[in-house]
Chain A
Amino acid sequence: MTAPQNPITRAIWDGTLPIKFSLDSTEAAELGAKTLVEPYFLEAPRCSYFPLLTSQIRKYFVDMSLNFIGDDAEIWYDVDGIPLKWHYPIGLLYDLHTGYRPDSNSPPPLPWPVTVHFKNFPIDKLIRAQAIDATQDFFMSMIKEADFLRNGSTKKVMNLSKNDQTQLWDGLWSSFSQKYRTENYDRFWSINYRLVTNDGQLPKHVPLRIYLPDNCPVIQEPIAPSDENGNQLTLGDVLHQILPELFPSPLPTENAFAAPVIHGVIPQLNIPILWASQNLCYPDNFLHIVVLLDS
């Protein structure tokens, strides 16, 4: 079954980031790497997750004579000393950690320099995955949470056949095989379409999260897609409601102190939040919006 053709969701699905993975230098010495280990370059899908790249990265460094025989779950990543939350999508982590404003005059920091660690997993800062399929569990939990926000229950997701539920995950994790990009997009979106459009029913709430830099707490609030009079709320309305000090008006004005970034672009404030939820969400069904301050 093919997904309805939507150039926007397809563009988001195809979005990638070049990442330069370097080995932590102290670990390199401890783990017996004989010479200076060259970094590993990988083009990662913005919609994927770091644990899905791990086996490839591990293979590269082990082939470069790294003595590592532990579990994939011990491997972790950091940027500028900050451990990367592996259960967040890669694109979200990039937008949040680089704080790059696409409306600035400078080019984006690419390739993204990420340090790979094979030891000393920071259990105080990162969730320790207990099982190999932890990433899948976390992903499916997000999809259920989104369903609950939309409908007040997870009936819709739970009523998907086991095969359909597996299709969602399989479509995503195999997504960065270039050869099967389109097949995987169809696999994923043929089922996800029903979820994000809520089978044509207006959702109670729109699944979204707002991230601010510098370790600010994540914001998640129940946001209805329309107001009491049935008028559709825009992205500007939502940002003004949740962060009035940064967005003093729902309309783009000179007084705004920040801009929203999603998938590396600044969307217009006048887009309806319902449309954004259906077209700009991540595969986990959430609109993960990074708010970056004006410099």
Chain B
Amino acid sequence: VIVRFRAIGNAPILKQNLYKINASNKFQAVIQFLRRELNYKASDPLFLYINSAFSPAPDELVANLVKCFNTDGHLIINYCTSAAWG
């Protein structure tokens, strides 16, 4: 499945923001992936949201998220360094 990352506020922008991710992964894998791409330490705050709306639990399956919340077949993930939508 395809995920599209979108930076919010002061969050660093990725060189590439479209990635293919295995649907059987948990959302945790997406979080780890983004942290690695941004070279963030475990202690650096990073918040991820689907469709600028909510934060799924890290154990939610990417497959389920895509089925339920995709935009034109891909999953839009917004990220920022502070809590944006509560």
- Residues of B contacting A137 with CB < 8 Å? 55
Contacts of A222 in B (CB 8 A): 67-68
- Given contacts A154-B85, A158-B85, whether A219 and B57 have CB atoms under 8 Å apart is no
Contacts of A219-240 to chain B: CB distance below 8 A: 219-222
Contact of A87 among B51, B57, B64, B69 (CB under 8 A): B57
Contacts of A141 in B (CB 8 A): 54-57
User: In this complex, what residue of B is CB-closest to A146?
Assistant: B54
Interface string of A80-118 (1 = CB under 8 A from B): 000001010000000000000000000000000000000
Kindly list chain A residues whose C-beta atoms are within 8 Å of the C-beta of B60: 218, 220
Q: How far is the CA of A154 from the CA of B86 in the complex (A)?
A: 12
Minimum C-beta distance from A177 to chain B (A): 26
Determine if A46 is an interface residue (Cβ-Cβ < 8 Å). no
- Would you call the interface of chain B mostly helix, strand, loop, or mixed? loop
A-B pairs with CB below 8 Å: how many? 49
Chain A residues contacting B56 (CB-CB under 8 Å) are 141, 145
Tell me if A218 and B61 are in contact (CB < 8 A): yes
Closest B residue to A145 by beta carbon equals B54
Q: Collect the chain A residues with CB atoms within 8 Å of residue B69's CB.
A: 148
B64 touches A221 (CB 8 A): yes
A176-218, CB under 8 A of B: which get 1 and which 0?
0000000000000000000000000000010000000000011
Q: Is B61 a contact of A217 with CB atoms below 8 Å? A: yes
Q: Say if the beta carbon of B59 comes within 8 Å of chain A.
A: yes
User: In the complex, which residues 117-151 of chain A have their Cβ closer than 8 Å to any Cβ of chain B?
Assistant: 127, 137-138, 140-142, 144-145, 148-149
Given contacts A148-B53, A218-B64, contact A127 B59 (CB under 8 A): yes
Given the complex, which residues of B lie within 8 Å of A221, measured CB to CB?
A: 64, 67-68
CB-CB nearest in chain A for B65 = A220
- 10 A-B pairs with CB atoms under 8 Å apart are A140-B86, A141-B54, A141-B57, A145-B56, A148-B51, A154-B53, A165-B86, A218-B60, A218-B64, A221-B68
B residues sitting closer than 8 Å to A (CB atoms) are: 24, 50-51, 53-61, 63-64, 67-69, 85-86
